[in-house]
Amino acid sequence: MKKQKIIYILAAAIIGIAIGKYIYSSYKEETLETFKSNDADIYLLQYGVYKDENVMIENTKKLKNYFYYKEENGYHVIIGITKNKNLKQKIVDSYKITENIYMKGVKTNNSEFLNLLDQYDNLISNTDDKDTIISAEKQVLSKYEELILQSG
């Protein structure tokens, strides 16, 4: 009788270990996939790229707010940032810009910025007030410079 109990306990332990390993491995795979997909697409609304900084400054005098960054091919002027491609025209219309605006896709994994961008995208999608949209974009641009460009 004692041998039977030991065999049952051993069998239960082996089955428990096998099931535990299976469950652990399935959660581990899901966790790895979650951390791999941290990068999110955001869209920079680019007003233009200029080879000369003085020309860029002269051509952006009419803009209410923007920022620029320098890469090897020139000075990139950004007037807005969004995660929602459908908000592009609404943002551009708020600036009363008639020039073509290029939507440049980039990836970021800065969760603080992405959460903020979600909030401002939500605000922009729920308003038609041009001043509110421009003000929201001003905040987004400022945070992008602070959290993305200056940090790394």
Percent of the chain, pLDDT > 70? 89
Which residues does residue 46 pair with via DSSP β-bridges, in sequence order? 78, 102
Counting Cα atoms < 13 Å in the Cβ hemisphere of 10 gives 6
Nearest Cα neighbor of 79 from 11, 145, 138, 2 is: 138
Confidence of residue 122 (pLDDT cuts 50, 70, 90): very high
What does the angle CA 51 – CA 103 – CA 143 come to, to the nearest 5 degrees?
A: 85
The whole-number pLDDT of residue 27 equals: 63
Which is more confident, 23 or 51? 51
pLDDT digits (tens, 9 = 90+) for 97-117: 877 889 999 998 888 999 999
Mean pLDDT of the region 81-90: 92
pLDDT digits (tens, 9 = 90+) for 25-77: 766 555 554 545 467 889 999 999 999 999 999 988 888 788 898 888 899 99
Average pLDDT, the chain: 84
Please state, in angstroms and rounded to a whole number, the distance separating the CA atoms of residues 53 and 85: 29
Token digits of residue 134: 């421009």
Confidence of residue 126 (pLDDT cuts 50, 70, 90): very high
pLDDT tops 90 at residue 80: yes
For the full predicted model, state whether its pTM sits above 0.85: no
pLDDT tops 90 at residue 148: no
